[in-house]
Every structure is written in C-alpha cells, then in structure tokens.
C-alpha cells in the first residue's frame, strides 16, 4: 500500500525540521509527500521542505498555489483552505498514486513512533475509512482542554436543534480506547474512499465541511486515544514549549 503524507503549507519553516524528524522516526515510513504550498517559490517554507525531505530521503511533490492571505478564522480563509486541501487529495491520488493518505498539518508532531503503523492497521482490520490520533494542544493554556476535542461544544451537545459535530467531552473519555468520531481534524489517515471525499464550504471551518462529506458518503472514522500528536499553532508556542521542557 502506497502511503502519501499531504497538507497545505505556508509560513512553517520553523516547524518543518521537527515535523520531518517525527515522520522519519516512524516505524512505518511514508512513501512520499504531496504539499500544496500557498506562498511564493522563494519562501523559506518551500526551501525548508526541499532541504529536510532530501535529508530524510523522502520523495516530495510540491504544487505552488499563491492563495490570498486571510485572518486566521475568517470565513474566506476556510474556503481557501478547503480548496487547498482538495488539491492535496487530488495530487496524492492522481500524481502520487496514493492508496492511503496521511493528512497531517505541519504544526502537528507525532509522538508515538508507531502512530502511522497503528492507524494503517486500524483501516485494514477495523473496517474504517479514516483513523486518527488524539491531537493535543501545546503549550496548554490556562483553562484550555488538553486535546483537540473535534469542535466539542457543550452548547452544541445540549441543544437538540443544533448539529453536534462532537467527540466525547474530556471527562467521558476512557483513555486508551477507540471511538467513532465525526471530524478527523488536523491529523488523520484515510483510504481511497477518504481520498475521494471533498472539503465543502462551512462557516465554522473546512474540517466541518469535510465531515459533512464523510457523513453523506457513509464513511466511518475511528479515533484511537492511545495515540498522541502535539498540535502547536505558532512559532511562539513552539518556543514556549521548548522553554518549558528545558526548565
């Protein structure tokens, strides 16, 4: 099975060496990478991708798409990200001949070296189309949840008129168990059926638009809470994490 890692990427030169090192340490190494680079060809991210992929002996395919810049949670940004993610899925499937795709944002670090192998086994053995690890928020802010709950909102869960695109709230999770989920979020491994689904416009983010496509097409997603991945949103957060680790 040919496994391709892919994602849109821009302004992530700070994370690329650490991200690539996590992937190089996996017991199941990727067979290639498919990036949609929403920046200019002289951007440091583009150069870091080439340099560190070569250092780790990874084959990469980079499609340049100078997408417009939007505020982090602007609705237009969600539409742009959805289009870029759809481009990545198409490139992985048709140009990289992927059987499986690991959609992994470049600010998400896989902690367990057997993460990819376990996710691939889940798809093969557990009759699911998508398998995902827990994405932990780092550094953890005061009052924040310790992990990405997949748009977990108490108000949505308690409102019968609002679609609760949720995972279990933290106090109801039996850690180490596997759960059915609605939204894969920033780290997931999917099969050919997942490659065929598309991100759709959604006012709360492209992840929810993709979840709608998964539900419409009847795909099954599983979440393994024994697997962890650190989700670090910015270079500043990365520095804070390094300072905390050194203290």
Report the CATH number that the domain containing residue 163 is assigned in CATH. 3.90.550.10
Residue 169 has pLDDT above 80, yes or no: no
Mean pLDDT value across the chain? 84
Report the distance separating Cα 44 and Cα 66, nearest Å.
14
- DSSP 8-class letter at 78: H
Question: Which tops the pLDDT comparison, 141 or 198?
Answer: 198
Domain that holds residue 61: 3-246
Tell me which residue of 4, 16, 30, 36 sits closest to 199, measured CA to CA. Answer: 36
Question: Which tops the pLDDT comparison, 31 or 239?
Answer: 31
Neighbour tally for 162: CB within 10 Å = 11
pLDDT, mean of residues 109-133: 95
Tokens of 26: 């996996």
Out of 2-11, 24-33, 51-60, 228-237, which region has the weakest mean confidence (pLDDT)? Answer: 228-237
Tokens of 174: 């039996």
pLDDT value at residue 166: 53
For 45-182, list the strands marked E by DSSP: 60-64, 100-104, 108-110, 130-138, 178-180
Q: Are strands 32-37 and 130-138 parallel, antiparallel or unpaired?
A: unpaired
pLDDT, mean of residues 84-105: 96
pLDDT value at residue 43: 82
Residue 54 has pLDDT above 90, yes or no: yes
Residue 155: band (very low, low, confident or very high) from pLDDT cuts 50, 70, 90: very low
For residues 142 and 247, the answer to whether their CB atoms sit within 8 Å is no
Out of 28-32, 73-77, 132-136, which region has the weakest mean confidence (pLDDT)? Answer: 73-77
Residue 142 has pLDDT above 50, yes or no: no
Report the distance separating Cα 96 and Cα 4, nearest Å.
7
- Taking CA atoms, 235 is separated from 16, 33, 59, 197, 238, in Å, by 11, 23, 26, 31, 5
pLDDT value at residue 139: 62
pLDDT, mean of residues 11-38: 95
Over residues 202-242, the pLDDT tens digits come to: 877 888 889 889 999 999 999 998 998 988 888 888 888 78
- The pair phi, psi for residue 137, each rounded to 5°, is -85, 125
Q: Please give the tally of structural domains in the chain.
A: 1
Question: Which tops the pLDDT comparison, 116 or 246?
Answer: 116
For 127-181, list the strands marked E by DSSP: 130-138, 178-180
User: How remote is the C-alpha of 165 from its chain's centroid?
Assistant: 17
Secondary element (H or E) of residue 175 = none
Residue 157 has pLDDT above 50, yes or no: no
pLDDT, mean of residues 146-169: 49
Question: Which tops the pLDDT comparison, 205 or 14?
Answer: 14
Question: DSSP string covering 183-197, please?
Answer: --TTEEEE-HHHHH-
Residue 174: band (very low, low, confident or very high) from pLDDT cuts 50, 70, 90: confident
For residues 214 and 185, the answer to whether their CB atoms sit within 8 Å is no
Residue 73: band (very low, low, confident or very high) from pLDDT cuts 50, 70, 90: low
């Amino acid at each position: 099975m040919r496994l391709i890692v892919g994602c849109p990427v821009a302004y992530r030169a700070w994370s690329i060496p650490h991200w690539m090192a996590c992937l190089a340490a996996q017991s199941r190494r990727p067979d290639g990478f498919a990036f949609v680079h929403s920046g200019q060809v002289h951007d440091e991210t583009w150069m870091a991708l080439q340099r560190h992929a070569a250092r780790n002996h990874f084959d990469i395919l980079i499609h340049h798409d100078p997408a417009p810049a939007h505020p982090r949670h602007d609705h237009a940004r969600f539409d742009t990200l959805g289009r870029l993610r759809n481009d990545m899925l198409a490139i992985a499937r048709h140009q990289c001949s992927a059987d499986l795709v690991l959609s992994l944002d470049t600010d998400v670090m896989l902690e367990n070296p057997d993460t990819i192998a376990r996710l691939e086994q889940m798809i093969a053995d557990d009759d699911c189309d998508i398998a995902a690890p827990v994405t932990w928020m780092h550094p953890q802010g005061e009052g924040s949840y310790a992990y990405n709950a997949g748009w977990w909102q108490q108000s949505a869960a308690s409102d019968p008129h609002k679609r609760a695109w949720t995972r279990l709230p933290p106090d109801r999770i039996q850690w180490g168990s596997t759960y059915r989920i609605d939204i894969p979020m920033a780290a997931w491994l999917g099969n050919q059926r997942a490659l065929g689904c598309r991100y759709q416009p959604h006012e709360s983010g492209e992840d929810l638009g993709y979840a709608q496509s998964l539900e419409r097409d009847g795909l099954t997603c599983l979440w393994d809470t024994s697997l962890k991945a650190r989700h670090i949103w910015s270079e500043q957060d990365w520095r804070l994490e390094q300072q905390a680790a050194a203290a």
